[in-house]
Amino acid sequence: MRAIDQVSAMQAWSREVRGRDGLKVALVPTMGALHAGHLSLVTLARRHADRVVASVFVNPAQFDRADDLARYPRDLERDGALLAGAGADVLFAPDAAEIYPPGAQTFVTVEELAQPLCGAHRPGHFRGVATVVLKLFSIVQPDVAVFGEKDYQQLAVIRRMVRDLFLDVDVLAAPIVREADGLAMSSRNRHLAAAERAAARCLAAALAAGEAAVAAGERTAAAICAAATDELAREPLARVEYVALVDPDTLAAVTEVGERALLALAVWIGSTRLIDNRVLERRAP
Ligand code: AMP
């Protein structure tokens, strides 16, 4: 696996591989501190392209809190070894100044999809995400890019940006990879102390409670969200940021489950913010 940290070298690599060799390139954008969830994206990318570029870039523009950026876990050496093992061909790990050179003043805003859920609690977050992803697309020129359903709203924002800007990139979604007890894998799980780690199971339990409510015949968002919120309330270390039932495509709040609805939540466990989601489907009676 080759490691690249300069934009110009990454562009040159892509020009050669895509242009001269005619190969298909996949991009897997990450912020590092990799886990099996990230590696599943690389595996999926491998199946859809001849070469896989994984980027590791802790994007300052998407952090709404300086303390979160400062303590975001970084472990580039270990990330490189994991990516090589998973079959990535290039690790692209630029510095912040390489991606945002002095004077950079162009940003991308996806308007409505970025408003609800995490967007309502993290000002500027999705503007930072969309901007860095567009920059990565224009540097790497991927044919395919892979994102995780763990960050469901992010995936929706990127898909919309690709559609609105006519970007020639196929966006693929990878399912959420979970720990044995159901906790969605996340780089931020590293911040959890032992008691917090045990408490963090409440997110998956809350989603399961919402799903069980639908299976038991509940249809209203109020009842389904209450089932999830009640489950979270049983965990003293959990502080709910939001629990929401939304349309899986528009992310607009729904009052009832139609065929499908997305149950999404953000919960603080101590000083760590965790998110999770599940698509709930109404089964035929
Ligand atoms: P991050 O490094 O947290 O910015 O995540 C990079 C990519 O990995 C994003 O597309 C995430 O949605 C995806 N990802 C993170 N955690 C998981 C997980 N547990 N399962 C699947 N994909 C994930």
* Each residue's pLDDT tens digit, 112-169: 999 999 999 999 999 999 999 999 999 999 999 999 999 999 999 999 999 999 999 9
Q: Provide the percentage of residues in the chain whose pLDDT is more than 70.
A: 99
Tens of pLDDT, residue by residue over 41-91, are 999 999 999 999 999 999 999 999 999 999 999 999 999 999 999 999 999
CA 271 to CA 39: how far, in whole Å?
26
Note the pLDDT of residue 283: 76
3 state SS of 7: helix
Length of the chain (residues): 285
Q: Residue 108 pLDDT more than 80?
A: yes
Mutate to test the pocket of ligand 1, among 27, 28, 30, 42 (most ligand atoms within 8 A of CB): 30
CA 220 to CA 225: how far, in whole Å?
9
Measured from the Cα of 178, ligand 1's closest atom is: 19
Q: Residue 284 pLDDT more than 70?
A: no
192 half-sphere exposure, CB direction, 13 A CA radius: 21
Measured from the Cα of 187, ligand 1's closest atom is: 3
User: What sign for the dihedral angle of Cα 95, 103, 129, 197?
Assistant: positive
Instruction: Name all residues whose Cβ lies below 6 A of ligand 1.
Output: 30-31, 37-38, 40-41, 147-148, 150-151, 174, 176-177, 184-187
Question: In terms of CATH architecture, what is 187-277?
Answer: 2-Layer Sandwich (3.30)
Q: Is 38 a catalytic residue?
A: yes
Q: How far is CA 178 from the centre of its chain?
A: 14
Q: Catalytic residue among 38, 48, 125, 191, which?
A: 38
Note the pLDDT of residue 30: 98
Note the pLDDT of residue 282: 85
Note the pLDDT of residue 54: 99
Here the tokens at position 273 are 């913010």
Å from CA of 285 to ligand 1 middle = 35
Predicted confidence band of residue 239 (pLDDT cuts 50, 70, 90): very high
Asked if 186 and 274 touch (Cβ cutoff 8 Å), the reply is yes
pTM above 0.85, yes or no: yes
Q: Residue 243 pLDDT more than 80?
A: yes
Measured from the Cα of 38, ligand 1's closest atom is: 8
Å from CA of 30 to ligand 1 middle = 7
Q: Which helix (H) or strand (E) holds 268?
A: strand 260-269
Quickly name the fold that domain 2-174 has. Rossmann fold (3.40.50)
Note the pLDDT of residue 192: 98
3-state helix/strand/coil string of 54-114:
EEECCCHHHCCCHHHHHHCCCCHHHHHHHHHHHCCCEEECCCHHHHCCCCCCCCCCCCHHH
Tens of pLDDT, residue by residue over 158-217, are 999 999 999 999 999 999 999 999 999 999 999 999 999 999 999 999 999 999 999 999
Mutate to test the pocket of ligand 1, among 34, 62, 146, 151 (most ligand atoms within 8 A of CB): 151
Which comes out higher in pLDDT, residue 282 or 102? 102
Closest CA to ligand 1's atom 17: 37
Å from CA of 11 to ligand 1 middle = 24
Note the pLDDT of residue 95: 98
Measured from the Cα of 148, ligand 1's closest atom is: 12
Domain definitions of the chain by residue range: 2-174, 187-277
Q: Which helix (H) or strand (E) holds 263?
A: strand 260-269
Closest CA to ligand 1's atom 13: 148
